[in-house]
Amino acid sequence: MTNITVIGTGYVGLVAALGLSDFGNRVIGADIDPDKISMLQSGKSPIYEKGIEDYLRRNLDSGRLSFTTDIGKAVRSSEVVFLAVGTPPKEDGSADLSYIEKAVGTIADNAQGYTVVVTKSTVPVGTNRILQKYINTRNPEAEIEIVSNPEFLREGRAIQDFFHPDRTVIGTESSRAKEVMKKVYRALNLISVPFVWCNLETAELIKYASNAFLATKISFINQMAALSDAVGADIHIVSRTMGMDGRISSKFLHPGPGYGGSCFPKDTKAVVSTGERYGVDMSLIKTVISANEKQKKHVVEILVDMMGNPAGRTVAVLGLAFKSETDDVRDSPSLTLVSELLSAGAELRAHDPKASDNFRKIIPELQCFDSSYEALEGADALVLMTEWNEYRALDLELVKAKMKGSVILDARNLLDSDMARDYGFNYRGIGRGNRLKVT
């Protein structure tokens, strides 16, 4: 059993704290947000993630897991400290490392005995080495070694991804820290999860390269979807068939309203900013970023093309989260759609099974309803923005009865296009040969 503190109890830190406790370690989840900590202490999760409260209560009951706002005290009792605080983008696209710096300062001031600091937060290449120097200068007596252990979990499947990762990447040049990390992750080693041991910079770059590549796949397929619309091809058959080629893989080839979330938008910008710092051409990733911005606006353009000027018209928006199975709305494409339609004078009626409250923290004037059918009442148009299963199962008869108009823009291609057209809807998906009826 290892004594561990996880600093930051957000989407990554909370899941890591639960998982590490489930492995049998004694874990303290520490956060500066007292509301989050008191919720967690009472067995309630501040984020939505399937199954998370079962893990939370089980580990609290086991006595191995606790939560605190006293970060210094938690650090003093730990051999390993995970860093899982946010690294949001600054105005210029580079990562804001102020949360990391604050947390590392607390660790440097409080660590007792040999302590391994494990950076799970996504930090620009070179950051961990700088942090190590900073710790050594701030507290030359401290025996602290920094390890880079980037996180790859997907929100919505975070718990499953924690227990069954495709790989675990650990950047360290210290054999002592390596032994500590082997002990912490023994449970993953036992189930033959591949471990990649490398230096700090390699570990940091693996994370950025992976996210930049996935974002590139999404922007690529979105542009192919636009071409499909123009020429009357069906992007689903195109992408499915591309995916049959083992060199390509079918994952991340689903067209949609553009990527969002807390990782791809900020990590692609950070890669560009790192390239600029080192004088390395990142034009490919710059194009991916601008293609994604255009895609988010393209959804609004298609809608205007279908319904005309949205001023004074009622639009139902189903889906506010950046993807299904999460309540996370950070950089969600729905933010672009909703703000553009509101400024154009449309009346909006929205629904999301989990993300309405978070969305209204950003756009408070948005009217949200408890059920999707309520949001559809009197709507001239419907836009499907998030791939929640309940939207796939919409009863089109009922949709028709609730709506005043007949426009459906399916930005996730959830509905059967032929069936929707047979019901009399003016239906468009993304890249499904919108100019032609697919037979």
- By DSSP bridging, strand 80-83 and strand 314-318 are unpaired
Instruction: Specify the residue, 328 or 352, whose C-beta has the smaller distance to ligand NAD.
Output: 328
What is the per-residue DSSP string for 324-347?
TT----TT-HHHHHHHHHHHTT-E
What is the per-residue DSSP string for 199-263?
-HHHHHHHHHHHHHHHHHHHHHHHHHHHHHHHHT-BHHHHHHHHHTSTTT-STT----S---SSS
- Determine the Cα–Cα distance for residues 209 and 284; give it in Å rounded to an integer: 12
Instruction: Specify the residue, 151 or 340, whose C-beta has the smaller distance to ligand NAD.
Output: 151
- Determine the Cα–Cα distance for residues 151 and 84; give it in Å rounded to an integer: 9
Number of Cβ atoms within 10 Å of the Cβ of 339 = 14
Instruction: Specify the residue, 10 or 319, whose C-beta has the smaller distance to ligand NAD.
Output: 10
What is the per-residue DSSP string for 69-106?
S-HHHHHHT-SEEEE-----B-TTSSB--HHHHHHHHH
Query: What residues are labeled active site?
Result: 263
- Determine the Cα–Cα distance for residues 362 and 388; give it in Å rounded to an integer: 21
Instruction: Specify the residue, 29 or 405, whose C-beta has the smaller distance to ligand NAD.
Output: 29
SS3 content of the chain, % helix, strand, coil (to 5): 45, 15, 40
Q: How far is the CB of 22 from ligand NAD (least distance, A)?
A: 18
Q: How far is the CB of 134 from ligand NAD (least distance, A)?
A: 15
Instruction: Specify the residue, 196 or 231, whose C-beta has the smaller distance to ligand NAD.
Output: 196
Cβ proximity of 317 and 349 under 8 Å: yes
Tell the burial category of 392 from Cβ atoms under 10 Å away from its Cβ (0-12, 13-18, 19+). Answer: middle
What single-letter DSSP state applies at residue 196? E
Q: How far is the CB of 102 from ligand NAD (least distance, A)?
A: 4
- Determine the Cα–Cα distance for residues 347 and 367; give it in Å rounded to an integer: 9
Instruction: Specify the residue, 70 or 418, whose C-beta has the smaller distance to ligand NAD.
Output: 70
Q: How far is the CB of 215 from ligand NAD (least distance, A)?
A: 13
Q: Could you tell me the CA-to-CA distances from 101 to 12, 108, 119, 131, 345 in Å, in that order?
A: 18, 10, 12, 8, 43
**361 Cβ neighbours under 8 A, 6+ residues apart:** none
Q: How far is the CB of 121 from ligand NAD (least distance, A)?
A: 3
Contacts with ligand NAD, residue ranges (CB under 6 A): 7-13, 30-33, 36, 71, 84-87, 99, 102-103, 120-122, 151, 153, 155, 262-263
- Determine the Cα–Cα distance for residues 390 and 182; give it in Å rounded to an integer: 42
**165 Cβ neighbours under 8 A, 6+ residues apart:** 152, 153, 188, 193
Among candidates 7, 197, 186, which has minimal Cα distance to 102?
A: 7
Q: How far is the CB of 385 from ligand NAD (least distance, A)?
A: 19
Q: How far is the CB of 36 from ligand NAD (least distance, A)?
A: 6
Q: How far is the CB of 178 from ligand NAD (least distance, A)?
A: 22
- Determine the Cα–Cα distance for residues 321 and 331; give it in Å rounded to an integer: 9
Instruction: Specify the residue, 98 or 309, whose C-beta has the smaller distance to ligand NAD.
Output: 98
Residue of minimal Cβ distance to ligand NAD: 10
Cβ proximity of 346 and 314 under 8 Å: yes
Q: Give, rounded to a whole angstrom, the gap between the first and last alpha carbons of the chain.
A: 61
Instruction: Specify the residue, 43 or 88, whose C-beta has the smaller distance to ligand NAD.
Output: 88
